[in-house]
Amino acid sequence: MAESSADLTAPHPSGVAAGGAAAGASRPPGRPRFARPRADRREIAAIFAGGAIGTLLRAALAEAFPHPATAWPWPTFAVNIVAAFLLGYFVTRLQERLPLSAYRRPLLGTGLCGGLSTFSTMQVEILKMISAGEWGLAAGYTAASIAAGYAAIHLATALVRRVRVRR
């Protein structure tokens, strides 16, 4: 893969990269040098919309299946693994398959998958397990989340790339 992993955290390559270069050329004198290139409003709107849907799904699942602190947090585990799979699928497809689109990545990746998955809730769940003395559960939940999340990304990426080989 030629593309640097660092680009994954970058805003979507098409619009913003070009916009950044343009902004750099015509930067107003008062603007600090480290200011990031302006994200355009439609990109922000796409992230907002995707994030709203992802969050609604995650919150609905969390409310529907409450669990005690010492039980396996299925709602969080499920959304995280599903979001990881979807992100691997979307990002690989958008970067390596489809023509550049300024709004699909923000909508589906940054918005939907980012809103659907959560890191903070997982950390607090682990903390509560540790506080309750459930070290085995904490270790198991942590290891399973990372193993399954990583595997989900790997699998989704491989699935997208396999399609190209067959063509």
Q: Can you give the binding site for another protein, defined by CB under 8 A?
A: 1, 4-11, 34, 36, 39, 44, 47-56, 58-59, 62-63, 80, 83-84, 86-88, 91, 106, 109-111, 113-124, 126-128, 130, 142, 145-146, 149-150, 152-154, 157
- Residue 164 CB, shortest distance to another protein, in Å, is 16
Token pair 């609905």 in the structure block, residue: 60
- Residue 125 CB, shortest distance to another protein, in Å, is 9
- Residue 34 CB, shortest distance to another protein, in Å, is 6
C-beta of 118 vs 137, nearer to another protein: 118
C-beta of 59 vs 163, nearer to another protein: 59
C-beta of 1 vs 25, nearer to another protein: 1
Residue 46 CB contacts under 8 Å (≥ 6 apart), including other chains: 103, 106, 107, 111
C-beta of 102 vs 113, nearer to another protein: 113
C-beta of 77 vs 98, nearer to another protein: 77
- Residue 166 CB, shortest distance to another protein, in Å, is 21
- Residue 142 CB, shortest distance to another protein, in Å, is 7
3-state secondary structure the chain: CCCCHHHHCCCCHHHHHHHHHHHHHCCCCCCCCCCCCCCCHHHHHHHHHHHHHHHHHHHHHHHHCCCCCCCCCHHHHHHHHHHHHHHHHHHHHHHHCCCCCCCHHHHHHHHHHHHHCCCHHHHHHHHHHHHCCCHHHHHHHHHHHHHHHHHHHHHHHHHHHHHHHHC
